[in-house]
Structure 1
């Protein structure tokens, strides 16, 4: 049995082998096809190929080579007089069927050659009873890399889409082990589903020529009718279509120009051919630009045969678009993924899709959680997402197959890329070049003896052959599964430039920030080196020396000139130094210098406070007030002073005026605030929000009674995240009981988020937590932190892991000692 991906020339190989057989043997050859529709196509192709090898071969071709369908052979086997020396089975994954095994049994001396793209069965039935060996060609990716197959864009429904939900709910199975046709039809051959199919083509494949695979004939007819009503010229070909009409329709479809230029205007043009299974095997129309999957299946063979119809190369065709409206990607992966064909050939594993994994992925989607569920409309729920683009695929293929060995003048070897750029110099005795840019190096150098394996993309050396892992947009190489090295084209990484699984748990959709590097989310990942930082802005440099800056929690990189950065850095440095100097001065000059027995338990407004019961005020005349306070210990009233004006108490203090017209501060019981000093003011007044307004020696200022900080004017009250601040020019004083209100911060030092606020270099406030947290360790991605509740570290302290990315609520968990 020979395995070759769909569209890579199985018919040509078959014809070449038959030609060789005919020249060397007298016995006849049977080429057996799965369906009668393929007979003439195979016959024409074989004749054309063999005549190109030998123009005289056609004289006895019809006598020695017969192309028949398995159905005809089964029905007429007893009447056949000849015995073949070679039986060639096209689409040989059907060869284990009884119709085939009967024919093979009847001709035990015949050699058997099978050709197929998919040597697998749903039932896990192997092929070793019929074939002795499996010969495998290049992988699909290699054929694409060598431009023998087309690049492709793959779009699929989201895992939480309505269509995927329907497919995961399919419980019944047919006799072949695949989904039940009746159940599929009941759930998917309905108007909302047809509308979504049509909208997908209109949005992503307008004016492209394509093939749609339907569930059954009724479903195919409903799709074609719906498409035609919406301006998509469509026809159905099924087993019910008469031969003459089928040939005519196929000719019209094949004659329709490739539609990228929007040329579907002729009456005879057909944009979309809708079928059931007729054109999943053997059908050849290389200029097909899109494939739409509207029929779920558990059969890997059927999936690959269907998408393979669009992956043939054609002049002017840049790529094929695969529209997976039934989520087969979630069951099988991508069409170009590597498969273990040998294990399937031997019957060790089946060619059956992993529906259970798709169901688990669906059930784990947050949108299904009752607390988070949203009311999606059908269109929103079935919006297609891009799984892979041809540009990204080309980049991956260049990395996988883009290297070659080069020879030095002295016979030593090195490595270059396909463009001829040297990757490794010619200093090695031998190099084993593996797929995907992995190589084993042989030389007398110590590093090549101790760590012979190298990832040619990132230059990392390994003791053992590394494995490749893919996570979201980025590939990693690893020898132990623990230290993961991002695969980007660079030579600035070293053995310490790895990430662990913990760095990937929350995803890397905004790029990967690790160690001293940053890799943006891009189809062609590129490494940027961290240079320095100003508050929440970081500077990076690419390997060409160009500079870029990035804001915290933002993915985008913005170009900047070195001179611009230097000027901005100087301005920032001067500003920080000036600010830090003023903060030191603030501790000396801005704190109110007299004691204030403030009590703010009742609130921060004047109306929240009443006069105490243990005071008495008498009026001597119009200008004099005598005050008394009840001495509970002696059981009598004692005089506390005489004043010309008395103001209501609040916050535990009050303002009075003396005979000189000066304003004095007293406790709420008219006691002096200090025995040593009794300052006099030109003006004093208590204000709402716990401020004390003073004019002293002509200087006016306001005292925040909660912090004792003096301001030239009442500061602006602002909120950053959930924390309130007093803003005094460029100084921000936190109004939070967990922090000192006397220490100001710059705006650049404060980052507020969803129920979280980072203040200064080390402080984190979490809403509804009783104490502040202090950062012990900050990871380079600025999303993960090790924090604790104590400002000063000590052995055995309780530590917590904190994650916050400014998009989702923070996560915190206690670490184990």
Structure 2
């Protein structure tokens, strides 16, 4: 909150606050709304889902802030200095609005590059804007910075998942994943992500669902879990299979009302339900600390959604029996850890939608020998005992073997080794066709290969030695054959130029040939 205030005081009009899932963004901006309204300012809070709007309203009530809700089904309170509005509802009512805000607060601000948000901000052009997001990146690649056509003029990095874990506000994610990547060859992309129908066909298979059930029973049996699926039909199939295996499960989707959703999440807390399969609805605006396992069954290009889904399970929790949640199990059947890294990695964001992992050194290793524990299936560098469970292991290091359907714990060392392998492959690609092949295999955006290839060309041009000044005709005619060969090499002229010029127009030519010109050279 102090950083946002300092940004406004320094002259910024539209700062964006990046705070990890679990950092209490709703609490922070509700507090800001309270203080701003107490000073006579009018505050507009924007959100795009009904649960986010109700969540913000609930926090404002906790702070005893009188407010109105602008959304279908709610009675307006136009006299309140704070209004919580549905973006979809407000954009249709703009011309009728008499409420003129001094401050606009945007929840899930990475969405605010959309036209509906732009229309609202342009309509209230004199208002200051304060955005909040956990990850300032978009699938469509649209930048959020004002310099690139976006909204925001400053980025404030508040707190990260790693920092929240270190301070005890979140639990550590413990990732189990498949050693090999899922083959998504041939699956097209739509709106920046994988085509839903084709993706569902690829992953909604008995073997994959069966693996998910078997690994849940093996790694974290009984843990309150949510499973991220592709479509409603896929989510229902997964729930049905869990139920058939004696594990109580229900499916949630956008068609279910708030009461049904809340009942399902309460079931996770009481133990009445063990697994909730879902599509989209639990990505944002869900506060259920009992969730102790995340089952990833949906490949995605979206880093933002990936981080938000894992964030559902990172909140600390102690159940009715007094058992404290120590970790959150992430069962990654979609190999998302390969594409997006660990959720608790430190990331450096910017307003152009770029993200990088700081502190990465140049690759000097050829590979990493790994040991897999036969007791807990953790993966680690050679050691006499497993650092996870203490079980003695073979002293001879071996390469990691994949067992069909088997998940293994993905350690930081293993992820780093994979990252370096992928980096080496890209560096080794010399042609545009090779880069396009890598892009197709990894599911990168269509423009990645060309952009990478062109960037390399620009770098080569930038650092290429300056070409010497081209000699005049008189200078060329006075040169020896060796001098002409050196000049031709420096200028990039044809290989046969030196001898042809020397004997036809230069010092080695007959007197009558010296009257000719350079012609086509």
The bucket for the TM-score relative to the shorter chain is 0.5 to 0.7
Specify which of 162, 166, 173 is matched with residue 141 of structure 1. Answer: 162
Kindly indicate whether the alpha-carbon contact (under 8 Å) linking 2:250 and 2:264 is maintained by their aligned counterparts in 1: no
Paired residue for 1:303? 306
Paired position in structure 1 for 2:415? none
Aligned residues: 353
Give the direction of change, closer, same or farther, for the CA distance of 1:170–1:68 in structure 2 (3 Å limit): farther
Q: What SS class does the counterpart of residue 46 from structure 2 fall into? A: strand
Task: Summarize the Cα distance change of 1:332–1:111 in structure 2 as closer, same or farther, 3 Å threshold.
Answer: same
Matched, 1:322 2:336: no
Choose from 157, 177, 189 the match for 1:173.
Answer: 189
| Distance in 1 separating the partners of 2:58 and 2:67 | 15
TM-score by length of 1: 0.41
The residue that corresponds to 1:401 in the other structure is none
Show the counterpart of 1:599.
none
Q: Give the 3 Å change call, closer, same or farther, for CA 41–182 of structure 1 in structure 2.
A: same
2:436 counterpart residue number = none
Q: Secondary structure at the match of 1:155?
A: strand
Runs (5+) with no aligned partner, structure 2: 1-15, 70-76, 319-323, 373-380, 398-521
Residues 283, 506 of structure 1: alpha-carbon distance in 2 compared, 3 angstrom cutoff: closer
Give the structure 2 partner of residue 9 of structure 1. 24
**Pairing partner for 1:195 from 187, 195, 210:** 210
Q: How far apart are the structure 2 equivalents of 1:325 and 1:273?
A: 16
Contact 1:253–1:271 (CA<8 Å) still a contact in 2?
A: no
Distance 1:507 1:127, change over 3 A: closer
Answer yes or no: is 1:254 the counterpart of 2:269: no
Higher fraction of helix? 2
**Pair 1:521–1:8, CA change in 2 (3 A):** farther
Name the Cα RMSD after superposition: 3.0
What CA distance in whole angstroms lies between the structure 2 residues aligned with 1:206 and 1:14?
Answer: 38
- Deviation readout 1:651-688 (Å, 9 max, x if unpaired): xxxxxxxxxxxxxxxxxxxxxxxxxxxxxxxxxxxxxx
Shift of 1:60: 9.4
For 1:331 and 1:522, how far apart are their aligned partners in 2?
A: 30
Q: CA deviation at 1:30?
A: 1.5
Cα distance, 1:80 vs structure 2: 2.2
Distance 1:207 1:142 in 2: 29
In the alignment, is residue 79 of structure 1 matched against residue 122 of structure 2? no
Q: Deviations over 1:133-170 (max 9, x none)?
A: 011012221111111111121111121xxxx3333x24
Q: Deviations over 1:477-535 (max 9, x none)?
A: xxxx69xxxxxxxxxxxxxxxxxx4xx53534369xxxxxx98376769xxxxxxxxxx
Structure 2 length normalisation: TM-score? 0.63
State the distance in 1 between where 2:222 and 2:371 align.
34
- Deviation of 1:10 (Å): 0.6
Distance 1:523 1:136 in 2: 36
Equivalent residues of 2:347, 2:355 under 8 A apart: no
Unaligned residue ranges in structure 1 (runs of 5+):
52-56, 259-263, 354-434, 436-466, 470-480, 483-500, 512-517, 526-549, 556-817
Alignment of 1:464-613 (within 5 A): 501=364, 505=366, 507-509=368-370, 520=383, 554=396
The aligned counterpart of 1:346 is 352
CA shift in 2, pair 1:101/1:506, >3 Å: closer
**Greater strand proportion:** 1
The answer to whether the aligner puts 1:31 opposite 2:63 as a matched pair is no
1:92-111 equivalences under 5 Å are 92-111=109-128
Distance across 1 between alignment mates of 2:128 and 2:343:
32
State the alpha-carbon separation in 1 of the partners of residues 263 and 145 from structure 2: 40
State the match for 1:287 in structure 2: 290
Give the direction of change, closer, same or farther, for the CA distance of 1:510–1:66 in structure 2 (3 Å limit).
closer
In structure 1, distance between residues paired with 2:157 and 2:81: 28
**Residue 85 and residue 223 in structure 1: after superposition, are their counterparts in 2 closer, same or farther (change >3 A)?**
same
Give the conservation status (yes or no) of the 8 Å contact 2:264–2:276.
no
Deviation per CA, 1:676-713: give whole Å up to 9, x if none.
Answer: xxxxxxxxxxxxxxxxxxxxxxxxxxxxxxxxxxxxxx
Higher relative contact order (CA 8 A, sep 6+): 2
Cα displacement (A) at 1:127: 1.0
CA contact (8 A) 1:35 1:71 kept: no
Larger-gyration structure (1/2):
1
Q: Please name the residue that 1:184 is paired with.
A: 199
Give the corresponding residue for 2:176.
Answer: 155
CA contact (8 A) 1:170 1:184 kept: no
Choose the corresponding residue for 1:332, options 328, 337, 340: 340
Q: 1:36, 1:76 → 2: CA distance?
A: 17
Q: Paired residue for 1:741? A: none
State the distance in 2 between where 1:59 and 1:122 align. 33
Residue among 51, 54, 58 paired with 1:40: 54
Distance 1:295 1:170 in 2: 16
Question: For the Cα contact (< 8 Å) 2:249–2:274, is it kept in 1?
Answer: yes
| Residue pair 1:118, 1:301 contacting (<8 A) in 2 also | yes
Answer yes or no: is the 8 Å Cα contact 1:33–1:91 preserved in 2. Answer: yes
Compared CA separation, residues 77 and 468, structure 1 to 2 (3 A): closer
Equivalent pair of 1:170/1:179 in contact (CA under 8 Å): no
Offset at 1:207? 0.8
Question: Given the superposition, is the C-alpha separation of residues 113 and 170 from structure 1 closer, same or farther in structure 2, using an over 3 Å criterion?
Answer: farther
